[in-house]
A and B are shown apart, each in its own frame.
Chain A
Amino acid sequence: MLKEIKINTIILTVLLVLIITIYLLAENKANTSFTIIASLTAVKFIAVSFQFMETKKANLFWKILVSLFVVTFLIGVFVLN
């Protein structure tokens, strides 16, 4: 149990770093920001889903479905921007 809480804490730290990075990138308004922000958003989504929501313990079907969703999101965002 302690191991899982330690992993949660590491993931939380990573997520907080990502959130602040995304904010700073958006503030800088660099040309590459959009691609990086969308990609980091996908990473955040995967981290929360797999670790906090415990998708990692679910059947392969649910893991694939969540991953497919993220891929669809990224394709849609890149195509429509």
Chain B
Amino acid sequence: MNEQHKSIYYPPGGILIWLLIILEIFTFLGGIMVFLNYRTEELTLFQEAQQQLNPLIGTINTIVLIISGYFIANSIHFIKNGENKKAARSILISLLLGVTFLMIKSAEYYVKIEQGIGFSDNTFFTFYWMMTGFHFIHVLFGIGLLSYMYIGINKNTYHSKNYFDVESSATYWHLCDLIWILIFPIFYLI
């Protein structure tokens, strides 16, 4: 399989998921660039709006998502090696960390809504809701995928001879990591 990955048509996880990843990260990059362009025009407004976000919560969420990515990466090595129980356990940990991420993000959204900060409050928050919201939906979908893989491994549908779907799902999960790595410092720190 590793030799097969050297072909342009067979990146790890499959070409379709990679095309999706390239499309998605460039779309988010476009959003980030437009956000930064507006930021230069309304710098004071953006800096004041950013003060209303808690960078510590964003940092904790980053840590949660990165650790989740670590476990899903390990699960691929376990399943390739025929260690299905370890693979399932790693996916379950990833899944629970993904749920933790969404719970923290939901709590943050709830506080913002309680404070009356909505989508059309100002340009900063329009971008904040739009981009973190899209990311939220990606993570939610990823949790669905990982749940399906977890069930599949436990039923022995996926094993060392049939793990392509698990690898594709893991690649998708890393996309969620990558998007968050980009948008977290832009909204919370810079």
> Which residues of A approach B to under 8 Å, CB–CB?
1, 4-5, 8-9, 11-12, 15-16, 19-20, 22-23, 26-27, 34, 37-38, 41, 44-45, 48-49, 51-55, 57-59, 61-62, 65, 69, 72-73, 76-77, 80-81
Contacts and interface: CB of A to CB of B under 8 A. Distances in A.
Contacts of A53: 12-13, 73, 171, 174, 178
Contacts, number: 121
Given A37-B190, A38-B190, A4 B77 contact: yes
A38 B66 CA distance: 18
B73 to A, nearest CB: 4
A59 B11 contact: yes
Contact of B12 (A4, A20, A22, A58): A58
A59 B182 contact: no
A73 B32 contact: yes
6 contacts: A12-B70, A41-B182, A52-B69, A53-B73, A62-B11, A76-B36
Interface of B: 2, 5-8, 11-13, 18, 22, 25-26, 29, 32-33, 36-37, 39-40, 55-56, 59, 62-63, 66-67, 69-70, 72-74, 76-78, 80-81, 171, 174, 177-178, 181-182, 185, 188-190
A11 B33 CA distance: 28
Contact of A44 (B12, B13, B181): B181
Given A26-B55, A52-B73, A69-B26, A15 B37 contact: no
B185 to A, nearest CB: 5
B67 A76 contact: no
A79 to B, nearest CB: 9
A54 B173 CA distance: 13
A5 B59 contact: no
Instruction: Name, among A48, A51, A77, the residue most crowded by chain B CB atoms within 10 Å (CB to CB).
Output: A48
B36 A5 contact: no
A16 B67 CA distance: 9
Contacts of A48: 66, 69, 174, 177-178, 181
A54 B174 CA distance: 10
Instruction: Name, among B40, B73, B77, B171, the residue most crowded by chain A CB atoms within 10 Å (CB to CB).
Output: B73
B93 to A, nearest CB: 13
Nearest to A24: B59
A5 B74 CA distance: 6
Contact of B185 (A12, A37, A52, A59): A37
